[in-house]
Amino acid sequence: MIVVTVNDAAYKISVSRLRPFQTVIASGIQQAFETPHVYQNPDPVKGGEVQGFVKYVCAVAPTGAGKTVIAADLLRRHAAPCAMVAHRGELVTQISLALAREGVKHKIIGSDSLRRNCVQIHMGELGYSMVEATASVAVCGVDTLINKETANDPWFKSVTLLVFDECHHVLDGNKWGKAFAMFPYCRVVGFTATPGRADGKGIGTKEMGGSGIFQVLVSGPGMRDLIDEGFLTDYRVFCPPSDVDYSKVGITDTGDYNQVKLRQAVHASNTIVGDVVKHYLKLAAGKTGITFAVDVEEATKIAQAYRDAGVPAEVVTGDTPAPLRANIMRKFRNREVLQLVSIDILGEGVDVPACEVVSFVRKTESFGLFVQQWGRCIRLMITPAQAAAWGSMSVAERIAAIAASPKPYGIIIDHVGNVIRHGLPDAWRALTLANRDRRSSGKSDAIPMKACTECTASYERYHTECPFCGYVEEPAARTAPVYVDGDLWELDAETLKALRGLKAAVDTTSPPIADNIRGTYQGQGALNRHFEKQQAQGRLRNDMALFAGYWRDKKGKTDREIVKMFYLMYGVDMMTAQTLKTVDAVELNNRVRDFLTRKNIVSV
């Protein structure tokens, strides 16, 4: 797979509204198209590797990074007919408004009502409309698009750039794939926050081991990068206990929970509705929030419970008429409504910077859905004047402005254990366009989460006590690293003695060799294997020292926190790691080396 990782401004181009990191992503897309690559020949007859220019690029940027703004700028600068495809009406209107702000006239390929909604939104936001039926640029709803007759419409053959919103939907042969096939002469750019799908199907070409269309993956700054740089807000997470029993809720071929069984489990709860309201009032009273529910019935109950507690709330679903939804969203921005109770509709792609709180009441196995819903509350809540100057401010100035803003951090209230299942969404995960096991969200060094039994706050398990209330939970036992998350200080004396003995056996210069093979080829082979093991261990231990140094010197972590982090990231404690056989030591070393490389840490 070809991956273009862009993390500096080496390829900056002239753009209009883009912030610096958005410019970097746009530059990476341009670089991907203009640089010759070696890739698998899509011709099934010729096959093999070929060198040339690719046509289909997937760009990955975090939720809240402004992918619509980047896409609108690409369309604005393209000097030929082009189109952007989205799969829901509210996303079409969002893209249309972004183009209008860029001064780009465009037509809407969608229903008459959708076209009218776009015009109304332009007039309400800008005072004029940029929707024009004869424009060469189009914003398309995928369902309307794939049912259009193209034979007598020359516009389709003239399009040379096609942009997909939420491109993780695009597979060869599904409706997004059919939309792709309608434009045979164009380059394609797809935008997504999470290229991985819950069903495990990759969005790369078949030649790359995927089930989609893309040949190149462009990866820009991640969510944690944007938080640290002051382009997204940080967050706090709470995981209240719940009485919902998920033991009989299985996983379907889609890679997510059986929705019928999931609804039944939630409906059987005696406390979940009251818990949602109680913890919102306890942790985030007066803040604007989105609550993600499992179905309309449960959403209606939750919204009514909010109202009964004096919290203005509305239900928003895919069937909510567009004018009514627009009115509800306006009230939400104006704080006339404090809670939107949604059934997935506000999870993907929708820009809701007014949201300060996300409440999870819909359990999901889909990492992509989890990240999309999480991202609703980490967008900045700043003034238009601040937004205009944001890219030119220093990191310290942005961080200070966020701290002084109405939303210094987003709040996640997770009633269903999504964050315990998936880990934090801003941890590094390997990106791929290939198919994978549908239960895997990608190789990750994300540290597992823990919910404090005293205050319900959620935190990464490397902490030796709850960082919010100071509560220390006693381990179940001290006889093995698994019971203490690799904390060597928590192990009993006998367990530590045994681990030290195993390490000493690796370090000895004279390994035990049976008398009957001493001095023979077999004996020399045993010595050679021992020496190879020591060499592998030397490299591993050097990188483990660099790992510890990074967390101690750069991040201020204690030794106990560092050994727990190592165990939680790699599944082996630091003492046992120094006893591994050669092949396992090399594999672990490669994983640690990958971490160090991403942090620009090298041996001197």
Q: DSSP states of 114-171 as a string?
A: HHHHHHHHHHHHHSS--B-TT-SEEEEEHHHHTTS--TT-HHHHH--EEEESSGGG--
Q: In whole numbers, what is the pLDDT of the chain averaged over residues?
A: 85
Q: Is 444 exposed, middle or buried (0-12, 13-18, 19+ CB in 10 A)?
A: middle
Mean pLDDT of 339-364: 81
pLDDT band at residue 438 under the 50/70/90 scheme: low
The strand order across the sheet containing 234-238 reads 313-316, 339-342, 289-292, 357-360, 409-414, 234-238, 457-460, 449-451
Q: How many CB atoms lie within 10 A of CB 469?
A: 11
Query: E strands within 454-572?
Result: 457-460
Residue 343 has phi, psi (to 5 degrees) of -110, 80
Q: Is the pLDDT of residue 356 over 50?
A: yes
- At the topology level of CATH, where does 2-222 sit? Rossmann fold (3.40.50)
User: Using one digit for the tens of pLDDT, what is the confidence trace for 62-95?
Assistant: 888 888 889 988 998 888 999 999 988 888 988 9
pLDDT in tens, 116-127: 989 988 998 899
HSE (CB half, 13 Å, CA atoms) of 490?
24
Residue-level pLDDT at 480: 85
The CATH number of domain 234-425, selected from 3.40.50.300, 3.30.300.170, 3.40.50.150, 2.30.30.60: 3.40.50.300
Q: What is the mean pLDDT of residues 354-361?
A: 93
Q: Render pLDDT for 147-174 as a digit per residue (tens, 0 to 9).
A: 988 878 889 989 999 999 999 999 998 9
Q: How far is CA 584 from the centre of its chain?
A: 30
Residue of 91, 99, 90, 89 lying closest to 69 (CA atoms): 99
pLDDT attached to residue 12: 30
Mean pLDDT, residues 442-460: 77
Given a cut of 60, whether residue 9 has pLDDT beyond it is no
Tokens of 460: 């990464």
Give the pLDDT score at 153: 87
Fold matches, 2-222 and 234-425: yes
Domain boundaries, the chain: 2-222, 234-425, 481-598
Instruction: Calculate helix-pair angle for 559-570, 582-598, nearest 10 degrees.
Output: 110
- The size of the chain, in residues, is 604
3-state DSSP assignment of residue 591? helix
- Indicate if the pLDDT at residue 188 is higher than 70: yes
Rounded (5°) CA angle 589-593-598 = 155
Per-residue pLDDT, 46: 61
User: Given a cut of 60, is residue 441 above it in pLDDT?
Assistant: no
Cα–Cα distances in angstroms (integers) from residue 473 to residues 242, 265, 363, 477, 589, in the given order = 20, 30, 26, 12, 32
Query: Which of 226-230, 553-557, 595-599 shows the lowest per-residue confidence on average (mean pLDDT)?
Result: 595-599
User: Which band of pLDDT confidence, cut at 50, 70 and 90, is reported for residue 16?
Assistant: very low
pLDDT at 198: 80
Judge whether 30 and 13 are in contact, CB under 8 Å.
yes
Q: Which long-range contacts does 382-388 make (Cβ < 8 Å, 24+ apart)?
A: none
Please state, in angstroms and rounded to a whole number, the distance separating the CA atoms of residues 515 and 374.
Answer: 64
* pLDDT number for residue 456: 82
Burial class from Cβ neighbours inside 10 Å (0-12, 13-18, 19+) for residue 77 reads: middle
Q: How confident is the model at residue 498 (pLDDT cuts 50, 70, 90)?
A: confident
Look up residue 30 and give its two tokens.
């341009």
Min mean pLDDT across 247-251, 353-357, 443-447, 458-462 is at: 443-447
Q: Does 3 score more than 80 pLDDT?
A: no
For residue 109, report the phi and psi dihedrals to the nearest 5 degrees.
-100, 95
What is the pLDDT at residue 59? 93
* Top mean-pLDDT range of 84-93, 213-222, 227-236, 430-439: 227-236
CA 123 to chain centre: 34
pLDDT at 6 over 50: no
pLDDT for the residue numbered 430: 74
Between CA 69 and CA 297 the distance in angstroms is 36
Using the structure block, give the residue that is written with the tokens 């990866």: 219
Say which amino acid occupies 279: H
pLDDT digits 0-9 by tens, 234-252:
999 998 888 888 888 888 8
327 against 340, higher pLDDT: 340
The pLDDT value recorded for residue 348 is 55
Tell me: pLDDT of 2 over 50: no
Residue 588 to residue 506: CA distance in whole angstroms: 16
* Percent of the chain whose pLDDT exceeds 90: 38
Residue range 512-539, pLDDT digits in tens: 666 666 667 677 777 888 889 989 999 9
pLDDT of residue 284: 95
Most confident of 30-44, 400-414, 472-486: 400-414
What percent of the chain shows pLDDT beyond 70? 90
- The pLDDT value recorded for residue 445 is 65
Cα 8 to chain centroid, rounded: 20
Q: What is the arithmetic mean of pLDDT over 552-570?
A: 90
Q: What is the pLDDT of residue 244?
A: 86
Q: d(Cα 602, Cα 89) in Å, to the nearest integer? A: 49
State the Cα–Cα distance between residues 603 and 301, nearest whole angstrom: 58
pLDDT at 23 over 60: yes
Residue 268 CB partners (closer than 8 Å, separation 6+): 244, 245
